[in-house]
Amino acid sequence: MLEKLFRKKTRVSSGSLIERIANVKCRDIPAHVAIIMDGNGRWAKQRSLPRIAGHHEGMKTVRKITRIANELGIKVLTLYAFSTENWKRPKLEIDFLMKLPGEFLTTYLPELIEQNVKVEMIGNFDELPNHTKNSILKAMEETKGNNGLTLNFAMNYGSRLELVEAVKEIATLIADQSIKSDDINESLIESHLMTAHLTDPDLLIRTSGEVRLSNFMLWQLAYSEFSFTDVLWPDFDEKCMLNAIEEFQLRNRRFGSIEGEGKA
């Protein structure tokens, strides 16, 4: 208890970034961090800039957060970049958002390769414009042998769509008698999700003060820890990331069990 209080008091660290990183690394690092990167439009509006200026600035945050995630030893960083509902936005904004992976990856791919980062994507790939597909494919191809941080972009991703697709695949297996309905269990469903090869997020962060999931990883977030911050995505920096991880490290994950005996 005393130890807990002491840790609480030192939670919002005042040390340098390097000291904080070192301290955080001594404790339990979340293996998979997922982020709903929100608030780009409001960041731009506050500065009387067009919304796309906020998206452009947000790209720089992606770079910063990728670097620190890698440095901390996080295994997977999933970034919600475009939802299946974001097609409802004005065409000009969508066109810009579809060009961002190309710009991000052209600018930072050499750096990602150098840092041993592996680029992946979840979402409906087929519906993306060809130039977006090509940039993502190139980055995936050039980083596929890397075994540092997996930088997983959720692009044209929607959790309900993902679940619908999984149900369709399983229904086909039953129809062609490859499996029986009794064979359906959690691990079978998981194996048909776009995240089949990944562990569930340990920590979900959402920026910009919104406290909702917006159709993001509804199945996978069942036992994740949530961290919400008012900071807008373009302003989210290494310190904000460390705040979220330090907060995570103070949580007591029980997974339905009793204190101290929780297991993933």
Q: What is the DSSP letter of 57?
A: H
Q: Which is nearer to ligand IPE, 211 or 258 (CB)?
A: 211
Closest CA to 216 of 41, 76, 96, 79: 79
Question: Looking at 65, 81, 121, 170, which residue binds ligand IPE (CB under 6 A)?
Answer: 81
* Strands (E) located in the chain: 32-36, 76-83, 118-122, 150-157, 203-206, 225-228
Residue positions in the annotated binding site? Answer: 38-43, 51, 55, 83-85, 87, 89, 206, 212-214, 225
Unique residue bearing structure tokens 């005393």: 2
Residue 210 as a binder of ligand IPE (CB under 6 A): the answer is yes
Stretch that binds ligand IPE, among 11-19, 186-194, 206-214, 242-250 (CB under 6 A): 206-214
From residue 90 to residue 129, the character string flagging contacts with ligand IPE as x (rule: CB under 6 A) and all else as - is -------x--------------------------------
Question: Looking at 24, 29, 37, 69, which residue binds ligand IPE (CB under 6 A)?
Answer: 37
Angle between helices 51-72 and 17-25 (to 10 degrees): 60
Instruction: Take residue 1 and report the two structure tokens written for it.
Output: 């208890």
Q: Which parts of 73-128 fold into alpha helices (H)?
A: 91-114
- Residues identified as active-site: 38, 86
From residue 41 to residue 70, the character string flagging contacts with ligand IPE as x (rule: CB under 6 A) and all else as - is xx----------------------------
Tallying the residues shown for the chain, one arrives at 264
Instruction: Take residue 41 and report the two structure tokens written for it.
Output: 């439009």
Residue positions in the annotated binding site for substrate? Answer: 39-43, 51, 55, 83-85, 87, 89, 206, 212-214
DSSP per-residue letters across 141-165: HHHTT--S-EEEEEEEE-HHHHHHH
Residue 38 as a binder of Mg ion (CB under 5 A): the answer is yes
List contacts with ligand IPE (CB under 6 A).
Answer: 36-42, 80-83, 86, 97, 208, 210, 212, 214
List contacts with Mg ion (CB under 5 A).
Answer: 38
